[in-house]
Every structure is written in C-alpha cells, then in structure tokens.
C-alpha cells in the first residue's frame, strides 16, 4: 500500500507579518480512524487530517477483509459459488445470491419458474427491509442514539426467523440458487409473513417518531455531507445514495428482473425540506435524505411483498437440470438493485462447468469512493455521519 501523502497546503498563518515566533498557533494532526473504530462499520480505516475538530481531508484505506471472493468464482461451479456470494454483503445475502443466479441464468438461458420468481422477490424485499433496518439502527448508533438500534434489530429478528423457517440459515442463506430457489416455503409461512408485514408497517412510524424527525437528529444530519446529482453520477453512486440526490434511478424499474415489472411501486427520492413532511433545513443529497430514502424504501418493499404474496401460486420452484450445467463460451454482465445499490456480476464462460472469469461490481465499494470527496472541511462528528449514511458493508468493499 502506498504511503499516505497529502498535498502540502501553503501555511498562510505563518507568512502573516503579525504572526511572531511563539504566538498561539494550531497544528494539523493526522488521526487514524479505524480499522478498529466503533463507527467505521467493520474494518474500514480512514486517515483524517484534522485541525482541532475540523477534518480537512479524509482518505479511506480498504482491504482488511479481502478474501479473494472473485478468484474463488473461477475455480468452482456456479452453484458452488452461491455460498460465497452470501459472504460478500453479509447483511443482504439473498440479494447477492439473486444477482449471481440471474447472471448464470442469463448466460445459460435457464428459464426460472413463476413461483420461484415470486419467492425470490419476496425474499429479496424481506432482505432489503432487514438490510435497511441494520442501516438505520447503526446510523442511530453513529449519531449517539442507542435505542433505534435495538428497535430495528427487534424487527430484523422476525425477518431472520422467517428466513430461518424457509431455508434454515439466519445470515448466509444460499437460498436463491441458479434456476430458482433451494427449498419451497414451509406450511404457514405466507400467513406468517403477512402477519409480520401488518406488524412491521406501524413500526416505521415509530422509527420516524424516535429518530427521523428528532430535532437533534435532523440538526446533526441535514446539510451535512451534501452530494450533488452530478457528483453522484460522476462517482458512480447507486442505490439510496444516488436516489437521495434526486435522481430517480432504480434497476427494479429501469431494467426489471425476476418479474419486477408486474409490481406496482414507487421510487422514493430525496428532496429539499419543507414539503411532504420533510423537515425544514434538509437539502437534497444530504445525510438525512439518504437516511430517509431508506425509510421510504421499506414502505415500498412492504407494498411489493404484499402483491407478491397475493400472486404466489403453486408450481415448481427450480428449473430442471441446473447442476453441472456447461457454461457457453460467452460473457454476461447483470446488475440488480441491492439494498446498497447496484450489484453487478460479470461472468465469462468457456464451455466448461467452471466460469473462466467472475467479476463483481459492489455498490458499497463504489459508494465508498465518494468519502474523500465529501469529507472535506467538516467537523469530526460529521465523519461517522457521512460514512454511516453511505451504508457500506466492508465485507463487500474488500471482497
């Protein structure tokens, strides 16, 4: 890793003729934030150049959790690689499974049964809610509020119970496989899921009352870390971070997959404060917008799931003859909408059962790139606010 270098800034203070030797002056300090810092969401290391409480420059250093996730994909068969995709973005395992499964299906031309598509959508949206709950809760922690964290995890626990009932795992599911899903839903699962949705929807109001519209929270996050739409597009931001800047871009609408075109839902975007219940002082693209877009997305996920549960019909859950399938000498690049943004998989086949090349485009990795651009001339307390609002998962950044 290259040594940390910063551009030397002209020391204007000392050039001033009124400044004499021995006068009071401040010194810049290099502070190492992480990789064991409580609010870097894992093993992110940020080197801060600070002047007192002011952060002049922040440079993220990554790679502490590198596990050769892409290289492994080039030595195992696709259905064996599914569990490795879980470990990339371990907060949203279902969505990662789905992305890789769709990539292989497109490459090989596998047709997924209708019921499997519905179940995939239900699982993906459930996991989107679970992932957003983690994001909201830990963002509360970053702001010094502990209670939203436990409230969010209380509801996430119920989602994990549903996952466990469906596939036996609570974090790394490997449930969505190439050609469909691994197991059918157990008896009573659909009713239980509907019960959960009824329970969960009012809870969003609770989160809003407790954290979203809390005056201190709004003051801490509004106008902090503002990202313009141009910057967001230039840095390749996706997901809630992009939508918070006012760009209405969601792959579930733009390039629908797994039957998302059948469902009726909206794409929430960030907006200036004062209208639609958004507090005054909020600017499009600031930390509060990114936070609130996730809250709104949870409502939309509930909407999608209600429709999918209603349309769930009996039928096969997996396409036939998927194991050991030969990958054609072709290439495919598929992007889907992960809770954190666009997760892309590039897979190249060479006629054998093992891919010649696997490459992932991680939303956390791309979103994290804007850190050093945004964390300039801010206060120290704003650094966790910005990092937390980007909602990165370091397992996926480092892969």
Partner 1 sequence: MSQFAVPWREKPEPSHGFVSSFIVALAKGIYAIATPIVTRFPGSILLSAVVASCFLVWAHALLFSYVDTAVLERAAEVGAANPNAFGYFSPSTWGLPPSVIGTLLAGDAAVEGQSPGLLSYLLWPVQFGFTRDMIAFGAIFAWFNIVPVYVIWWERKVAGRIQSRLGPMRVGGWHGWAQSPADGIKLVLKEDFIPDAADSILFRAAPYFAIIPSALAFVALPFGVTYIFREVDVALVFILAMLGIEVMSVILGGWASNNKWSVYGGMREACQMVAYEIPMGMALLVPVVCVGSLSLKYIGEVQADGWFSWLAFRNPFAFVAFVTYFIASLASCKRAPFDLPEAESELVAGFLTEYSGFRWALFFFAEYAAMFVVGGLATIMFLGGWNSPIPSDWGAGLGESIWAKGLKGILFSGPIWFILKCVFFLFLQLWVRWTLPRIRLDQVLYACVQVLLPLTMVLLFGTTLWVWASESGNATWDVIASIVSKVLGIVGLAFGFGFVAIAGYGFYHRRRLVGNLVIDPLPGS
CB of 285 to partner 1, least distance (A): 19
Per-position x/- string for 164-203, each x denoting binding to partner 1 as judged by CB under 8 A, each - no binding: xx--------------------x-x---x--xx--x----
Using CB under 8 A as the binding rule, the residues of this chain from 16 to 35 that contact partner 1 are 29, 31
- Tell me the Cα Rg of the chain: 23
63 binds partner 1 (CB under 8 A): no
211 binds partner 1 (CB under 8 A): yes
CB of 245 to partner 1, least distance (A): 23
CB 240 within 8 A of CB 297: yes
Residue 105: CB atoms within 10 Å: 23
283 binds partner 1 (CB under 8 A): no
CB of 265 to partner 1, least distance (A): 25
Tell me whether residue 203 or residue 357 sits nearer to partner 1 (CB atom): 203
Q: Show the 3-state SS of the chain.
A: CCCCCCCCCCCHHHHCCCCCCCCCCCCCEEEEECCCCCCCCCCCEEEEEEECCEEEEEEEECCCCCCCHHHHHCCCCHHHHHHHHHHHCCCCHHHHHHHHHHHHHHHHCCCCCHHHHHHHHHHHHHHHHHHHHHHHHHHHHHCCCCHHHHHHHHHHHHHHHHHHHHHCCCCCCCCEECCEECCCCCCCHHHHHHHHHHHHHHHHHHHHHHHHCCHHHHHHHCCCCCCCHHHHHHCCCCCHHHHCCCCCCCHHHHCCCCCHHHCCCCCCCCCCCCCCCCCCCCCCCCHHHHHHHHHHHHHHHHHHHHHHHHHCCCCCCECCCCCCCCCCCCEEEEEEEECCEEEEEEEECCCCCCCCEEEEECHHHHHHCCHHHHCCCEECCHHHHHHHHHCCCHHHHHC
CB of 193 to partner 1, least distance (A): 10
Q: Which stretch binds partner 1 (CB under 8 A): 77-85, 250-258, 291-299, 375-383?
A: 375-383
207 binds partner 1 (CB under 8 A): no
161 binds partner 1 (CB under 8 A): yes
56, 145, 229, 312: residue in contact with partner 1 (rule CB under 8 A):
145
384 binds partner 1 (CB under 8 A): yes
288 binds partner 1 (CB under 8 A): no
CB of 297 to partner 1, least distance (A): 22
Q: How many residues bind partner 1 (CB under 8 A)?
A: 44
38 binds partner 1 (CB under 8 A): yes
CB of 212 to partner 1, least distance (A): 11
216 binds partner 1 (CB under 8 A): yes
Alpha-carbon separation of residue 321 from 85, 112, 142, 184, 279 (angstroms): 22, 12, 48, 17, 54
d(CA 295, CA 152): 11
Q: Quick one: tokens of 366?
A: 């791309």
47, 76, 158, 353: residue in contact with partner 1 (rule CB under 8 A):
158
Q: Which stretch binds partner 1 (CB under 8 A): 96-104, 134-142, 227-235, 356-364?
A: 134-142
6 binds partner 1 (CB under 8 A): no
Tell me whether residue 151 or residue 365 sits nearer to partner 1 (CB atom): 151
Tell me whether residue 30 or residue 329 sits nearer to partner 1 (CB atom): 30
Per-position x/- string for 235-274, each x denoting binding to partner 1 as judged by CB under 8 A, each - no binding: ----------------------------------------
Which residues make up the interface to partner 1 (CB under 8 A)?
Answer: 29, 31, 37-39, 52-53, 140-147, 149-151, 154, 157-158, 161-162, 164-165, 186, 188, 192, 195-196, 199, 210-211, 214, 216-217, 219-220, 379-384
């Amino acid at each position: 890793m290259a040594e940390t270098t910063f551009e030397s800034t002209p020391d204007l203070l000392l050039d001033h003729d009124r400044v004499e030797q021995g006068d009071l002056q401040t010194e810049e300090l290099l502070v190492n934030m992480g990789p064991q810092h409580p609010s870097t969401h894992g093993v992110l290391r940020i080197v801060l150049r600070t002047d007192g409480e002011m952060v002049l420059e922040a440079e993220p250093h990554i790679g502490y959790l590198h596990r050769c996730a892409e290289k492994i994909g080039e030595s195992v068969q696709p259905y064996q690689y599914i569990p490795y995709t879980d470990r990339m973005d371990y907060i949203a395992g279902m969505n990662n499974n789905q992305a890789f499964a769709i990539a292989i299906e497109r490459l090989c031309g596998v047709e997924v049964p209708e019921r499997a598509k519905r179940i995939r959508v239900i699982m993906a949206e459930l996991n989107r809610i679970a992932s957003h709950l983690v994001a909201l809760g830990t963002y509360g922690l970053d702001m010094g509020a502990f209670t939203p964290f436990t409230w969010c995890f209380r509801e996430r626990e119920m989602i994990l119970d549903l996952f466990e009932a469906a596939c036996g795992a609570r974090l790394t599911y490997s449930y969505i496989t190439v050609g469909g899903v691994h197991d059918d839903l157990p008896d009573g699962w659909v009713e239980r899921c509907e019960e959960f949705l009824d329970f969960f929807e009012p809870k969003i109001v609770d989160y809003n009352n407790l954290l979203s519209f809390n005056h201190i929270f709004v003051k801490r996050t509004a106008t902090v870390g503002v990202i313009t739409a141009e910057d967001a597009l230039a840095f390749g931001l996706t997901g809630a971070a992009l939508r918070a800047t006012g760009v209405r871009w969601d792959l579930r609408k733009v390039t629908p997959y797994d039957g998302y075109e059948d469902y009726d839902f909206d794409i929430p975007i960030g907006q200036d404060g004062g209208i639609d219940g958004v507090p005054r002082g909020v600017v499009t693209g600031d930390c509060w917008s990114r936070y609130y877009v996730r809250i709104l997305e949870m409502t939309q996920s509930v909407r999608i799931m209600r429709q999918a549960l209603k349309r769930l019909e009996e039928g096969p859950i997996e396409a036939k003859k998927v194991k050991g399938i030969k990958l054609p000498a072709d290439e495919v690049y598929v992007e889907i909408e992960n809770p954190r943004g666009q997760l892309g998989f590039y897979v190249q086949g060479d006629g054998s059962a093992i891919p010649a090349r696997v490459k992932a485009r991680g939303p956390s990795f791309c979103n994290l790139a804007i850190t050093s651009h945004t964390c300039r001339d801010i206060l120290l307390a704003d650094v966790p606010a910005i990092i937390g609002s980007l909602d990165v998962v370091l397992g996926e950044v480092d892969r």
